[in-house]
Structure 1
Amino acid sequence: MRAIHGLWRWRHNPLCRATDLAEAWVALVTLVLIAVVAPVIGSLVGFTAQDSLQRSVREQQHSRHLVMATVVRSLGGVPPETDPDTSAGHETRSRVLADWPAPDGTRQHGPALADLKSPHPGDRFRLWTDPHGRITTRPLDAPTATTHAVLAGFGAALLTAGLVDSGRRLIVWRMVRRRYALWDQAWDRAGPDWGKAGTGI
Protein backbone atom coordinates (compact mmCIF):
# COMPACT_ATOMS: atom_id res chain seq x y z
CA MET A 1 0.00 0.00 0.00
CA ARG A 2 2.84 2.37 0.79
CA ALA A 3 4.28 1.79 -2.68
CA ILE A 4 0.96 2.53 -4.39
CA HIS A 5 0.42 5.60 -2.20
CA GLY A 6 3.95 6.77 -2.98
CA LEU A 7 3.41 6.44 -6.72
CA TRP A 8 0.09 8.32 -6.55
CA ARG A 9 1.59 11.05 -4.35
CA TRP A 10 4.48 11.67 -6.75
CA ARG A 11 2.42 11.62 -9.99
CA HIS A 12 1.97 15.40 -10.45
CA ASN A 13 4.15 16.72 -7.67
CA PRO A 14 6.59 19.40 -8.96
CA LEU A 15 9.08 18.36 -6.25
CA CYS A 16 9.16 14.81 -7.54
CA ARG A 17 12.64 13.67 -8.52
CA ALA A 18 13.31 10.78 -10.87
CA THR A 19 14.85 8.82 -8.00
CA ASP A 20 11.73 9.29 -5.86
CA LEU A 21 9.56 7.84 -8.61
CA ALA A 22 12.04 5.03 -9.23
CA GLU A 23 12.07 4.09 -5.53
CA ALA A 24 8.27 3.98 -5.50
CA TRP A 25 8.25 1.72 -8.58
CA VAL A 26 10.87 -0.57 -7.02
CA ALA A 27 8.74 -0.84 -3.88
CA LEU A 28 5.61 -1.61 -5.93
CA VAL A 29 7.37 -4.31 -7.98
CA THR A 30 8.75 -5.81 -4.77
CA LEU A 31 5.27 -5.89 -3.24
CA VAL A 32 3.83 -7.64 -6.31
CA LEU A 33 6.66 -10.20 -6.37
CA ILE A 34 6.27 -10.98 -2.66
CA ALA A 35 2.48 -11.21 -2.93
CA VAL A 36 2.38 -13.30 -6.11
CA VAL A 37 5.70 -14.97 -6.94
CA ALA A 38 6.67 -16.08 -3.42
CA PRO A 39 3.42 -18.03 -2.82
CA VAL A 40 3.64 -19.59 -6.29
CA ILE A 41 7.21 -20.76 -5.70
CA GLY A 42 6.28 -22.00 -2.23
CA SER A 43 3.36 -23.97 -3.67
CA LEU A 44 5.49 -25.50 -6.41
CA VAL A 45 8.19 -26.54 -3.95
CA GLY A 46 5.58 -27.91 -1.54
CA PHE A 47 3.80 -29.96 -4.23
CA THR A 48 7.11 -31.29 -5.56
CA ALA A 49 8.29 -32.23 -2.06
CA GLN A 50 4.91 -33.84 -1.31
CA ASP A 51 5.08 -35.97 -4.44
CA SER A 52 8.66 -37.05 -3.74
CA LEU A 53 8.07 -37.75 -0.04
CA GLN A 54 4.85 -39.69 -0.62
CA ARG A 55 6.72 -41.81 -3.17
CA SER A 56 9.36 -42.46 -0.51
CA VAL A 57 6.60 -43.39 1.96
CA ARG A 58 5.22 -46.01 -0.45
CA GLU A 59 8.68 -47.40 -1.21
CA GLN A 60 9.67 -47.61 2.45
CA GLN A 61 6.40 -49.21 3.53
CA HIS A 62 6.85 -51.80 0.79
CA SER A 63 10.52 -52.55 1.50
CA ARG A 64 10.64 -52.39 5.32
CA HIS A 65 9.22 -55.11 7.52
CA LEU A 66 8.23 -55.19 11.17
CA VAL A 67 9.45 -58.37 12.91
CA MET A 68 9.51 -59.62 16.48
CA ALA A 69 12.98 -59.91 17.99
CA THR A 70 14.01 -61.77 21.14
CA VAL A 71 16.50 -60.43 23.67
CA VAL A 72 19.50 -62.71 24.15
CA ARG A 73 21.16 -60.47 26.71
CA SER A 74 21.48 -56.82 27.60
CA LEU A 75 24.62 -55.06 26.46
CA GLY A 76 25.70 -53.83 29.89
CA GLY A 77 27.63 -50.63 30.35
CA VAL A 78 25.78 -48.93 27.49
CA PRO A 79 23.33 -46.25 28.73
CA PRO A 80 19.76 -46.30 27.36
CA GLU A 81 19.10 -44.02 24.39
CA THR A 82 16.08 -42.00 23.33
CA ASP A 83 14.52 -42.77 19.99
CA PRO A 84 14.22 -39.62 17.82
CA ASP A 85 11.93 -41.47 15.38
CA THR A 86 9.08 -41.86 17.86
CA SER A 87 6.23 -39.35 17.81
CA ALA A 88 7.03 -38.13 21.33
CA GLY A 89 10.76 -38.34 20.81
CA HIS A 90 11.26 -39.46 24.43
CA GLU A 91 10.81 -43.24 24.18
CA THR A 92 13.67 -44.97 25.99
CA ARG A 93 15.51 -47.67 24.07
CA SER A 94 18.17 -50.03 25.40
CA ARG A 95 20.96 -51.73 23.49
CA VAL A 96 20.68 -55.49 23.53
CA LEU A 97 21.98 -58.57 21.77
CA ALA A 98 19.00 -60.11 19.97
CA ASP A 99 17.77 -62.73 17.54
CA TRP A 100 15.17 -61.97 14.88
CA PRO A 101 13.79 -63.54 11.71
CA ALA A 102 14.49 -61.97 8.34
CA PRO A 103 11.58 -61.58 5.87
CA ASP A 104 13.04 -64.47 3.84
CA GLY A 105 12.92 -66.76 6.89
CA THR A 106 16.61 -66.78 7.82
CA ARG A 107 17.64 -66.10 11.41
CA GLN A 108 19.60 -62.94 12.23
CA HIS A 109 21.68 -62.22 15.32
CA GLY A 110 23.30 -59.00 16.50
CA PRO A 111 23.06 -55.83 18.56
CA ALA A 112 19.84 -53.85 18.39
CA LEU A 113 17.90 -51.08 20.10
CA ALA A 114 14.93 -52.45 22.09
CA ASP A 115 12.04 -50.32 23.31
CA LEU A 116 12.48 -51.84 26.77
CA LYS A 117 13.61 -49.94 29.86
CA SER A 118 15.15 -52.98 31.59
CA PRO A 119 15.53 -55.81 29.06
CA HIS A 120 15.86 -59.43 30.21
CA PRO A 121 16.72 -62.55 28.18
CA GLY A 122 13.62 -63.82 26.41
CA ASP A 123 11.86 -60.45 26.27
CA ARG A 124 10.37 -59.69 22.87
CA PHE A 125 10.26 -56.38 21.03
CA ARG A 126 9.46 -55.06 17.57
CA LEU A 127 12.18 -54.34 15.05
CA TRP A 128 12.18 -52.84 11.55
CA THR A 129 14.30 -54.63 8.94
CA ASP A 130 15.01 -54.38 5.23
CA PRO A 131 14.25 -57.30 2.84
CA HIS A 132 17.61 -58.89 3.77
CA GLY A 133 16.95 -58.79 7.52
CA ARG A 134 19.28 -55.89 8.27
CA ILE A 135 18.05 -53.48 10.95
CA THR A 136 16.74 -50.20 9.58
CA THR A 137 14.65 -47.26 10.73
CA ARG A 138 10.85 -47.28 10.75
CA PRO A 139 9.29 -46.21 7.43
CA LEU A 140 8.20 -42.64 6.96
CA ASP A 141 4.45 -42.21 7.42
CA ALA A 142 2.20 -40.12 5.19
CA PRO A 143 1.25 -37.40 7.75
CA THR A 144 4.91 -36.78 8.61
CA ALA A 145 5.78 -36.57 4.91
CA THR A 146 2.97 -34.05 4.38
CA THR A 147 4.23 -31.96 7.30
CA HIS A 148 7.75 -31.93 5.81
CA ALA A 149 6.35 -30.90 2.42
CA VAL A 150 4.33 -28.04 3.92
CA LEU A 151 7.39 -26.82 5.83
CA ALA A 152 9.49 -27.01 2.65
CA GLY A 153 6.94 -24.95 0.72
CA PHE A 154 6.60 -22.40 3.50
CA GLY A 155 10.38 -22.11 3.78
CA ALA A 156 10.73 -21.65 0.01
CA ALA A 157 8.11 -18.87 0.05
CA LEU A 158 9.87 -17.10 2.94
CA LEU A 159 13.26 -17.47 1.23
CA THR A 160 11.87 -16.03 -2.00
CA ALA A 161 10.30 -13.09 -0.16
CA GLY A 162 13.57 -12.49 1.67
CA LEU A 163 15.61 -12.54 -1.54
CA VAL A 164 13.19 -10.15 -3.27
CA ASP A 165 13.26 -7.73 -0.34
CA SER A 166 17.06 -7.97 -0.17
CA GLY A 167 17.20 -7.08 -3.87
CA ARG A 168 14.95 -4.07 -3.23
CA ARG A 169 17.15 -2.90 -0.36
CA LEU A 170 20.27 -3.25 -2.52
CA ILE A 171 18.72 -1.28 -5.38
CA VAL A 172 17.50 1.50 -3.05
CA TRP A 173 20.91 1.62 -1.32
CA ARG A 174 22.66 2.11 -4.66
CA MET A 175 20.14 4.77 -5.67
CA VAL A 176 20.67 6.65 -2.39
CA ARG A 177 24.45 6.48 -2.80
CA ARG A 178 24.14 7.87 -6.33
CA ARG A 179 21.83 10.64 -5.05
CA TYR A 180 24.39 11.62 -2.38
CA ALA A 181 27.16 11.57 -4.98
CA LEU A 182 25.16 13.96 -7.18
CA TRP A 183 24.53 16.22 -4.18
CA ASP A 184 28.27 16.27 -3.44
CA GLN A 185 28.98 17.25 -7.03
CA ALA A 186 26.38 20.05 -6.84
CA TRP A 187 27.89 21.35 -3.58
CA ASP A 188 31.36 21.24 -5.11
CA ARG A 189 30.18 23.38 -8.01
CA ALA A 190 28.47 25.88 -5.68
CA GLY A 191 31.24 25.81 -3.10
CA PRO A 192 33.59 28.52 -4.45
CA ASP A 193 30.77 31.10 -4.59
CA TRP A 194 28.94 30.06 -1.42
CA GLY A 195 28.46 32.98 0.98
CA LYS A 196 29.83 35.71 -1.30
CA ALA A 197 27.81 38.90 -1.62
CA GLY A 198 26.04 39.24 -4.93
CA THR A 199 26.42 35.56 -5.84
CA GLY A 200 23.74 34.50 -8.28
CA ILE A 201 22.64 38.08 -8.99
Structure 2
Amino acid sequence: MTGPPFPHPGRRREDPITLWRLRRNPLRRTSDLLQAWLGLGLLLAVLAAAPAAAYLVGDAAHHHYTHTAERHERTRHHTTAVLVHDAPRHPEPGSAEEKKTRYPVEVRFTDPGGRTHHATTDVPPGLRAGSTVHVWADPHGQVTGPPLTPDQVRSRTMGWAILAALSVIALGSAAYGAVTLALRHRNLTAWGRAWAGTAPRWTTRR
Protein backbone atom coordinates (compact mmCIF):
# COMPACT_ATOMS: atom_id res chain seq x y z
CA MET A 1 0.00 0.00 0.00
CA THR A 2 1.45 3.35 -1.02
CA GLY A 3 -0.49 5.62 1.32
CA PRO A 4 -3.99 6.80 2.28
CA PRO A 5 -6.11 8.79 -0.24
CA PHE A 6 -6.09 12.10 1.62
CA PRO A 7 -3.92 15.20 1.12
CA HIS A 8 -0.72 15.96 2.96
CA PRO A 9 -1.43 17.51 6.42
CA GLY A 10 0.72 20.52 5.55
CA ARG A 11 -1.09 21.28 2.33
CA ARG A 12 -2.63 24.75 2.23
CA ARG A 13 -6.33 24.95 1.46
CA GLU A 14 -5.82 27.30 -1.48
CA ASP A 15 -3.32 24.99 -3.23
CA PRO A 16 -4.78 23.44 -6.39
CA ILE A 17 -5.08 19.68 -6.06
CA THR A 18 -2.91 19.16 -9.15
CA LEU A 19 -0.05 21.17 -7.65
CA TRP A 20 -0.31 19.14 -4.44
CA ARG A 21 -0.01 15.94 -6.42
CA LEU A 22 3.12 17.24 -8.16
CA ARG A 23 4.75 18.31 -4.89
CA ARG A 24 6.96 15.78 -3.08
CA ASN A 25 5.43 14.51 0.17
CA PRO A 26 5.37 11.18 2.04
CA LEU A 27 1.67 10.57 1.40
CA ARG A 28 1.77 11.03 -2.37
CA ARG A 29 0.97 7.86 -4.28
CA THR A 30 2.10 6.92 -7.77
CA SER A 31 -1.49 7.30 -8.96
CA ASP A 32 -1.55 10.87 -7.58
CA LEU A 33 1.51 11.78 -9.62
CA LEU A 34 0.09 10.08 -12.69
CA GLN A 35 -3.22 11.92 -12.34
CA ALA A 36 -1.43 15.23 -11.92
CA TRP A 37 0.71 14.80 -15.02
CA LEU A 38 -2.23 13.58 -17.09
CA GLY A 39 -4.30 16.54 -15.92
CA LEU A 40 -1.52 18.96 -16.76
CA GLY A 41 -1.01 17.33 -20.15
CA LEU A 42 -4.72 17.48 -20.96
CA LEU A 43 -4.87 21.11 -19.88
CA LEU A 44 -2.00 22.06 -22.20
CA ALA A 45 -3.55 20.02 -25.01
CA VAL A 46 -6.90 21.75 -24.58
CA LEU A 47 -5.29 25.19 -24.46
CA ALA A 48 -3.56 24.44 -27.75
CA ALA A 49 -6.37 22.56 -29.49
CA ALA A 50 -9.34 24.80 -28.59
CA PRO A 51 -8.13 27.91 -30.50
CA ALA A 52 -7.00 25.74 -33.43
CA ALA A 53 -10.37 23.99 -33.60
CA ALA A 54 -12.21 27.32 -33.35
CA TYR A 55 -10.14 28.75 -36.22
CA LEU A 56 -10.46 25.72 -38.51
CA VAL A 57 -14.18 25.20 -37.93
CA GLY A 58 -14.88 28.94 -38.08
CA ASP A 59 -12.96 29.26 -41.35
CA ALA A 60 -14.86 26.34 -42.89
CA ALA A 61 -18.18 27.76 -41.67
CA HIS A 62 -17.35 31.20 -43.07
CA HIS A 63 -16.61 29.77 -46.51
CA HIS A 64 -19.79 27.70 -46.41
CA TYR A 65 -22.11 30.54 -45.42
CA THR A 66 -20.42 33.03 -47.74
CA HIS A 67 -20.96 30.70 -50.70
CA THR A 68 -24.52 30.07 -49.53
CA ALA A 69 -25.24 33.80 -49.39
CA GLU A 70 -23.76 34.29 -52.87
CA ARG A 71 -25.88 31.43 -54.26
CA HIS A 72 -28.99 32.92 -52.70
CA GLU A 73 -28.19 36.29 -54.23
CA ARG A 74 -28.00 34.67 -57.67
CA THR A 75 -31.06 32.45 -57.41
CA ARG A 76 -33.58 34.22 -55.21
CA HIS A 77 -35.61 37.22 -56.29
CA HIS A 78 -37.72 39.78 -54.46
CA THR A 79 -41.18 40.22 -55.95
CA THR A 80 -44.71 41.38 -55.24
CA ALA A 81 -47.34 38.75 -54.48
CA VAL A 82 -51.13 39.11 -54.51
CA LEU A 83 -53.32 37.48 -51.84
CA VAL A 84 -55.68 34.88 -53.31
CA HIS A 85 -57.85 34.73 -50.16
CA ASP A 86 -58.63 37.04 -47.25
CA ALA A 87 -56.32 36.71 -44.28
CA PRO A 88 -58.04 35.76 -40.99
CA ARG A 89 -58.89 38.58 -38.63
CA HIS A 90 -57.22 38.70 -35.25
CA PRO A 91 -59.57 38.19 -32.27
CA GLU A 92 -58.12 41.29 -30.56
CA PRO A 93 -57.93 44.04 -33.21
CA GLY A 94 -55.54 46.87 -32.38
CA SER A 95 -53.72 44.91 -29.69
CA ALA A 96 -49.96 44.52 -29.42
CA GLU A 97 -50.39 40.82 -30.08
CA GLU A 98 -52.11 41.55 -33.40
CA LYS A 99 -49.06 43.48 -34.60
CA LYS A 100 -46.85 40.41 -34.07
CA THR A 101 -49.29 37.81 -35.40
CA ARG A 102 -48.98 36.42 -38.94
CA TYR A 103 -51.30 34.01 -40.73
CA PRO A 104 -50.40 31.67 -43.61
CA VAL A 105 -52.32 32.70 -46.74
CA GLU A 106 -52.13 31.61 -50.38
CA VAL A 107 -50.58 34.19 -52.69
CA ARG A 108 -49.93 34.50 -56.43
CA PHE A 109 -46.81 35.97 -58.02
CA THR A 110 -44.88 36.00 -61.28
CA ASP A 111 -41.25 34.96 -61.59
CA PRO A 112 -38.64 36.76 -63.75
CA GLY A 113 -39.47 34.38 -66.62
CA GLY A 114 -43.12 35.45 -66.65
CA ARG A 115 -44.50 32.25 -65.13
CA THR A 116 -47.25 32.51 -62.51
CA HIS A 117 -46.83 30.64 -59.22
CA HIS A 118 -49.04 29.99 -56.22
CA ALA A 119 -47.50 29.61 -52.78
CA THR A 120 -48.23 30.19 -49.11
CA THR A 121 -46.68 32.94 -47.03
CA ASP A 122 -47.31 34.57 -43.64
CA VAL A 123 -49.14 37.90 -43.77
CA PRO A 124 -50.58 40.33 -41.19
CA PRO A 125 -54.16 39.71 -40.01
CA GLY A 126 -57.12 41.18 -41.86
CA LEU A 127 -55.58 41.67 -45.33
CA ARG A 128 -58.17 41.33 -48.07
CA ALA A 129 -57.87 39.21 -51.20
CA GLY A 130 -56.11 41.25 -53.88
CA SER A 131 -53.82 42.98 -51.37
CA THR A 132 -50.13 42.85 -52.17
CA VAL A 133 -47.16 41.76 -50.08
CA HIS A 134 -43.46 41.50 -50.85
CA VAL A 135 -41.91 38.03 -50.83
CA TRP A 136 -38.66 36.30 -51.68
CA ALA A 137 -38.97 33.33 -54.02
CA ASP A 138 -36.57 30.62 -55.21
CA PRO A 139 -36.16 29.28 -58.79
CA HIS A 140 -38.83 26.62 -58.11
CA GLY A 141 -41.50 29.19 -57.35
CA GLN A 142 -41.47 28.58 -53.60
CA VAL A 143 -41.61 31.45 -51.11
CA THR A 144 -38.40 31.51 -49.12
CA GLY A 145 -36.31 33.78 -46.92
CA PRO A 146 -34.00 36.55 -48.10
CA PRO A 147 -30.31 35.87 -48.80
CA LEU A 148 -28.03 35.72 -45.78
CA THR A 149 -26.71 39.11 -44.73
CA PRO A 150 -23.03 39.74 -43.82
CA ASP A 151 -24.08 40.01 -40.16
CA GLN A 152 -25.80 36.62 -40.33
CA VAL A 153 -22.72 35.07 -41.96
CA ARG A 154 -20.50 36.47 -39.19
CA SER A 155 -22.90 35.41 -36.45
CA ARG A 156 -23.18 31.82 -37.69
CA THR A 157 -19.44 31.60 -38.24
CA MET A 158 -18.79 32.79 -34.69
CA GLY A 159 -21.34 30.33 -33.35
CA TRP A 160 -19.63 27.35 -34.99
CA ALA A 161 -16.19 28.54 -33.85
CA ILE A 162 -17.36 28.86 -30.23
CA LEU A 163 -19.07 25.46 -30.43
CA ALA A 164 -15.84 23.86 -31.70
CA ALA A 165 -13.79 25.37 -28.86
CA LEU A 166 -16.35 24.29 -26.26
CA SER A 167 -16.38 20.78 -27.73
CA VAL A 168 -12.62 20.49 -27.28
CA ILE A 169 -12.92 21.70 -23.68
CA ALA A 170 -15.75 19.23 -23.03
CA LEU A 171 -13.73 16.35 -24.50
CA GLY A 172 -10.73 17.29 -22.36
CA SER A 173 -12.88 17.45 -19.24
CA ALA A 174 -14.49 14.10 -20.06
CA ALA A 175 -11.09 12.50 -20.61
CA TYR A 176 -9.80 13.82 -17.29
CA GLY A 177 -12.96 12.63 -15.55
CA ALA A 178 -12.55 9.15 -17.02
CA VAL A 179 -8.90 9.01 -15.92
CA THR A 180 -9.85 10.17 -12.42
CA LEU A 181 -12.55 7.51 -12.10
CA ALA A 182 -10.20 4.78 -13.32
CA LEU A 183 -7.48 5.80 -10.85
CA ARG A 184 -9.98 6.08 -8.02
CA HIS A 185 -11.23 2.57 -8.75
CA ARG A 186 -7.62 1.34 -8.80
CA ASN A 187 -6.90 3.00 -5.44
CA LEU A 188 -10.04 1.58 -3.83
CA THR A 189 -9.13 -1.88 -5.08
CA ALA A 190 -5.63 -1.50 -3.61
CA TRP A 191 -7.15 -0.29 -0.34
CA GLY A 192 -9.41 -3.37 -0.25
CA ARG A 193 -6.51 -5.75 -0.76
CA ALA A 194 -4.40 -3.96 1.86
CA TRP A 195 -7.22 -3.96 4.40
CA ALA A 196 -7.92 -7.63 3.78
CA GLY A 197 -4.34 -8.35 4.84
CA THR A 198 -4.33 -5.93 7.78
CA ALA A 199 -7.78 -6.47 9.32
CA PRO A 200 -7.06 -9.94 10.81
CA ARG A 201 -4.15 -8.52 12.84
CA TRP A 202 -6.46 -5.86 14.31
CA THR A 203 -9.12 -8.34 15.34
CA THR A 204 -9.08 -9.25 19.07
CA ARG A 205 -10.84 -12.16 20.73
CA ARG A 206 -12.93 -11.60 23.81
| Aligned counterparts, 1:114-125, within 5 A | 114-125=122-133
Contact 2:105 2:120 in 1 (8 A): yes
Residue 53 (structure 2) aligned to one of 30, 41, 64: 41
Residue 193 (structure 1) aligned to one of 190, 201, 205: 201
Instruction: Give the 3-state SS of the residue equivalent to 1:68 in structure 2.
Output: strand
Q: Which runs of 5+ in 1 are unaligned?
A: 80-89, 197-201
Contact 1:98 1:112 in 2 (8 A): yes
1:99 and 2:111 equivalent? no
1:113 and 2:121 equivalent? yes
1:9 and 2:23 equivalent? yes
1:186 counterpart letter in structure 2: A
1:32 and 2:57 equivalent? no
Cα separation, 2, equivalents of 1:113 and 1:93: 9
Q: Which runs of 5+ in 2 are unaligned?
A: 1-14, 92-98
Residues 4 and 107 of structure 1: is their aligned pair in 2 closer, same or farther, counting only changes over 3 Å? same
| Aligned counterparts, 1:17-166, within 5 A | 17-74=29-86, 76=88, 91-108=100-117, 110-166=118-174
Q: Give the CA deviation at 1:117.
A: 3.1
Instruction: Give the 3-state SS of the residue equivalent to 1:96 in structure 2.
Output: strand
Q: Give the CA deviation at 1:3.
A: 6.6
Structure 2 length-normalised TM: 0.76
**Percent of aligned pairs with the same residue?**
25
1:59 counterpart letter in structure 2: R
Q: Give the CA deviation at 1:190.
A: 2.2
Q: Give the CA deviation at 1:8.
A: 4.7
Q: Deviations over 1:82-101 (max 9, x none)?
A: xxxxxxxx854333333211
Residue-pair matches, total: 183
Structure 1 length-normalised TM: 0.78
Q: Deviations over 1:55-102 (max 9, x none)?
A: 1111112111111112233155899xxxxxxxxxx8543333332111
Q: Give the CA deviation at 1:26.
A: 1.6
Contact 1:114 1:125 in 2 (8 A): no
